[in-house]
Amino acid sequence: MTRGNRNVDLRHLRYFVAVAEEENIGRAAARLHISQPPLTRQIQQLEEELGVTLFTRTPRGMELTQAGELFLEEARNIRALVEQATERAQRAGQGKLGRLDVGIFGSAILDAIPKLLLAFRNRYPDVKVVLHTMTKAEQIEALRQRRISVGFNRMLAPLADLAIKQVTTEGLLLAVRVDHPLAAQPTIRFAELQHHPMVLFPTGARPSFIDKVIGLCADSGFQPQISQEVGDAATGVALVAGGFGVCLVPDSATTLQFPGVAYRPLSDTPPNFHVDLSCIYRKDDQSPILAAFLDTVGRYRDDQA
């Protein structure tokens, strides 16, 4: 079996299809914007390479042989596939096609993240977004190992190889059980929190939201009474319902509607009484999909402002 396709290239196929369709080398040459003799030569060369007679030459023009008919189908397929491949590669290069692996934290995917993902999905419907629940430390590890391209978290600090982009900033509310003494007040002074046991979250890599809360208390001159540390906001609110005490949560946690738990605003709060939600990604990641995603993040943040 002669391996004859070494020197066959797409030009040959393009020319071949044109000749097969026009059944006339002169017309085909005109259609291809070349002159007749080189086209004749290319067809001869193709037949030579394949070792197959593709056309029978008649006084009226070129007529496909049976082998030619078969090869015509294949040639059209190949050309269509090439067309499709370039188009898909281009779309992928523009970040319009592909896959984005995203790290998210805890079981609490609250407010901003779903909205953001929805906005991204609308703008880039052919990018498959895959969510991975992982802690902050796992996100950083996964980013470095390229298992994810972007992670969402709070209290992120820039690193040498990882960059941060803020998504949104939120105030804090107090989750209390409706029969808790503090629940009687429509607004609670921040300093009052020192007299009540608190549930804190999340466990795991520091600094995290825990440190934010402890820092805020320190700014107000006290140390919180920690009744329990839990993994995420949802668990925290569940413990509040169970009577473990109060719990400071970001605004968006109000989407966690729990029977017997109310959310109360705070007054006399220290400065910086808010917490950021940011995303983190590799500085050297040139992926157009990540660029598109970060662009969507920027637009989202601007819309919020």
Query: Do 201 and 232 form a contact (C-beta atoms < 8 A)?
Result: yes
48 binds, among DNA, a copy of itself, none (CB under 5 to 8 A by kind): none
* Candidate ranges 32-40, 101-109, 122-130, 162-170; the one touching DNA (CB under 7 A): 32-40
Q: φ and ψ at 198, to 5 degrees?
A: -125, 145
Q: Which two tokens stand for residue 56?
A: 């029978």
70 sits near a copy of itself (criterion: CB under 8 A)? yes
50 sits near a copy of itself (criterion: CB under 8 A)? yes
Task: Give the DSSP per-residue string, 267-295.
Answer: ESPPSS-EEEEEEEEETT---HHHHHHHH
304 sits near a copy of itself (criterion: CB under 8 A)? no
Distance CA 215, CA 26 (A): 83
Residue closer to a copy of itself by CB (options 9, 295) is 9
4 binds, among a copy of itself, DNA, none (CB under 5 to 8 A by kind): a copy of itself
97 sits near a copy of itself (criterion: CB under 8 A)? yes
Helices (H), the chain: 10-22, 25-32, 36-50, 66-93, 112-123, 136-144, 209-219, 233-241, 288-304
41 sits near a copy of itself (criterion: CB under 8 A)? no
65 sits near a copy of itself (criterion: CB under 8 A)? yes
Question: Which residues between 35 and 64 bind DNA (CB under 7 A)?
Answer: 35-38, 40-45, 57-62
Measured CA distances, 100 to 247, 286, 291 (Å): 34, 13, 11
99 sits near a copy of itself (criterion: CB under 8 A)? yes
203 sits near a copy of itself (criterion: CB under 8 A)? no
First-to-final CA distance of the chain: 70
Closest CA relative to residue 238, chosen from 255, 260, 210, 213 = 260
Q: Which residues bind a copy of itself (CB under 8 A)?
A: 1-2, 4-5, 8-11, 50-54, 56, 65-68, 70-71, 74-75, 77-78, 81-90, 92-93, 97-99, 286-289
Q: Which residues bind DNA (CB under 7 A)?
A: 7, 11, 23-27, 33-38, 40-45, 57-62
